Structure 1
């Protein structure tokens, strides 16, 4: 196929039922569809209304899926945002029971490719049977795959799975051998080796099965950002590894809620700290106390968006709001906000986030300094990438054993990039940040990533 026939490409997108996965799949869909690629987007029927609000091209068709019944999974639980974290394993069981439905749809649709997610390890087998190419799309940074989910991670282990001390160290051949995780980070990563529903059900086994059996691997990154880690991934899997670039989101459209616009406008340009950790992160009371107190002692205005378990929301929100002493300068809120529009507001100059890479990208493109407070999983390695490799943000220092951070550490991190900017590390971070922001805003470069990827897919079919 030549590039002029890219409209003949038909891709099925099949992300995991979590909006932290659905969003990057949809962002990529929007980019590909603008190059004439036809997209059929699979998700549970209950997720379709929210997904439809993020679609910006007529080449994308949303395909609702029916979720089978699983004991213990309440009816209507169709994304991880609908349930406590421990119940997500039941949703994976539900996913596994969908194989006949997916095979029937693919038989009827006959796409060229199926882009699938980390726990869909049975998709390549169905695709091979039907003569369809399977593309494992990693929504995680390349450093995460290079550190955690590859054959080298377990080859040198004394036991069947890594110990805590082994998990602190990178696998053999990892590009930056002096990277050493803290105990709380390594302990969190051990979760990927837990089998909840029999052998082969752990995240590590699922991901490895996906990557070893797929036709090709797609990473949401580029050589400029993660060249050494991408090269390591290629040596581990010995198959085509394509790069989509960081898939920079389109600038936000619409107007910011007047409530936030009026409040933010009362402060000087680039002076407000915005803090959010995503919809599925619930901080403990003591960490909320340290966070809000730490922001107050920076002397800067701040807007904190927190999420709580539904049954505790009213009491916990009241607790958090009562911690704010100067209520004209500090606001605590819960619920959905127009995050991109808030970050893009002229008064906002700093973003304290959980280091999800989409959030990091939004912060950089919105010209907000990055303070990194990762909460789980790949976020820890994203934070290392931004603070150590890119040197474009500052990570909050935390206690080794349990990840506790105090108000002083939070305050120090924020002030280093917002107040003490004439001395290091703030001065160096800001110089590097400006360099990376320029790269992220080079629209033609990022269009080139997608254009080249479309050509590579055309060559495959």
Structure 2
């Protein structure tokens, strides 16, 4: 190992939506010669091994969850349990502090990249002469709206729904939703049901009686630097706003475009997709952990049927839930018979990247997870967005309507409770799939093409990673630990 080779420990929260960006960043850094030690629980190791690019300087380090919490030995993160159990993973992270300290003492990395939950890690690592960087896996706009240090300035006590409908002071004024220009912090920017959903970030008291926001701020204040998974081309105003709130190095990774998969699509999927014309199939998936209720499943499925286009609808259900029974209650009698030649409803994992790359897939209806949006654009799919929780609302705002990127369309939903019907699904898909450009370069499709092309520019992505490594080396020189 070269004397100047950086060694970085990756320590994400135990949910795959958090693990995945840490994997993507690990692959980018390791390709530039950075040594990676990836902390995770045993149940995640097979998936991580499959996605990490093999390298003699990359290793996976297993962490053992405390037996006292009652987790099975091979639990694969939050997806194996209902969302109500997720706080137990935060408790588990707190309880493994001695284990983490012993590993860091042995590995002696230059940096640890931590997630929102490990607010105790900066001080622990500092005792060992190790620097820490908080890696937020959320988009710049979500960080700026939800997690900026000044978010609760001027708010007495826990925030209300009305408080959260208004952006923080200084939030970029130019961009909004439904053609709203955010003139000042008194303007409502998000819908009522969205504000109700994100209340948990501030009110859910988990381990040590601290909310998600509290723990994020603890990690933020204690870390040497902050890392955001984004790029200035896509989110410049929001990243500038977030940077203005911090008095420490602010590092942007770039969009972390995933490597093209080396394997081929399974014959069963390829055969089914290949029977349809180019760019005609709707691929509909809401991530590995989002669970739709029966009414939402019904309206999505019936909306897809109304389009008359071929579709692949992928659903997930919590562990120990009978998926067949759920579908029987959610879908009307005769749905499968009516759509048997044009549609598939699949429960469980699918090779998403390979499906999105297939020539027949033209539309991606998804939950607006930031990584999913990048995958959809990279694979030249039209984007229809149905955000379900948290940061997804802001990702959709960025991508659609009056946002910066204007490369997708959001499903219309009722303000007070987020209800959407089959007609809303149909209208969004029909608009994006039949759009005719009235003014050159001004359509959603032309913007989608622009961002598709941008994400193919490897030199841009490589520069972000090179700059990140240079900044890390500079931090080590400018801020050495003194024994």
TM-score range, shorter chain: over 0.9
| Cα RMSD for the two superposed structures | 1.9
Q: 1:142 aligns with which of 123, 140, 143?
A: 140
Q: Give the structure 1 partner of residue 479 of structure 2.
A: none
Task: Check the 8 A contact 2:90/2:207 in 1, yes or no.
Answer: no
1:375 counterpart = 2:363: no
Q: 1:241 aligns with which of 241, 250, 253?
A: 250
Q: 2:272 aligns with which of 253, 263, 269?
A: 263
- Cα displacement (A) at 1:280: 1.2
Task: Check the 8 A contact 1:70/1:93 in 2, yes or no.
Answer: no
Q: Give the structure 2 partner of residue 331 of structure 1.
A: 344
Q: Give the structure 2 partner of residue 94 of structure 1.
A: 92
TM-score, normalised via structure 2 length = 0.91
Task: Check the 8 A contact 1:67/1:78 in 2, yes or no.
Answer: no
1:358 counterpart = 2:358: no
- Cα displacement (A) at 1:50: 1.9
TM-score, normalised via structure 1 length = 0.95
Q: Give the structure 1 partner of residue 406 of structure 2.
A: 391
CA distance in 2, matches of 1:6, 1:226: 36
Q: 1:224 aligns with which of 222, 228, 233?
A: 233
- Cα displacement (A) at 1:103: 0.8
CA distance in 2, matches of 1:195, 1:371: 31
Q: 1:64 aligns with which of 48, 62, 65?
A: 62
1:274-301 deviation line (CA, Å, top 9, x unaligned): 0000121111111111111111111211
> Compared with structure 1, are the counterparts of its residues 282 and 197 closer, same or farther at alpha carbon in structure 2 (3 Å cutoff)?
closer
CA distance in 2, matches of 1:244, 1:138: 11
Count of residue correspondences: 457
- Cα displacement (A) at 1:311: 2.1
Q: Which has the higher mean CA deviation after the structures are superposed, 143-152 or 68-77? A: 68-77
- Cα displacement (A) at 1:421: 3.1
Q: Give the structure 1 partner of residue 120 of structure 2.
A: 122
- Cα displacement (A) at 1:343: 0.4
Q: Give the structure 1 partner of residue 304 of structure 2.
A: 295
Q: 2:353 aligns with which of 328, 340, 343?
A: 340
- Cα displacement (A) at 1:196: 3.2
Q: Give the structure 2 partner of residue 193 of structure 1.
A: 202
Q: Give the structure 2 partner of residue 433 of structure 1.
A: 448
1:333-382 deviation line (CA, Å, top 9, x unaligned): 11111100100000000000000010000000001000000111101111
CA distance in 2, matches of 1:183, 1:357: 22
Q: Give the structure 1 partner of residue 178 of structure 2.
A: none
Task: Check the 8 A contact 2:69/2:92 in 1, yes or no.
Answer: no
Q: Give the structure 1 partner of residue 480 of structure 2.
A: none
Q: 1:315 aligns with which of 314, 325, 328?
A: 325
Q: Give the structure 2 partner of residue 403 of structure 1.
A: 418
> Compared with structure 1, are the counterparts of its residues 207 and 340 closer, same or farther at alpha carbon in structure 2 (3 Å cutoff)?
same
SS state of the match for residue 210, structure 2?
Answer: coil
CA distance in 1, matches of 2:235, 2:437: 29
Q: Which has the higher mean CA deviation after the structures are superposed, 276-285 or 355-364? A: 276-285
1:457 counterpart = 2:472: yes
Q: 2:215 aligns with which of 194, 206, 213?
A: 206
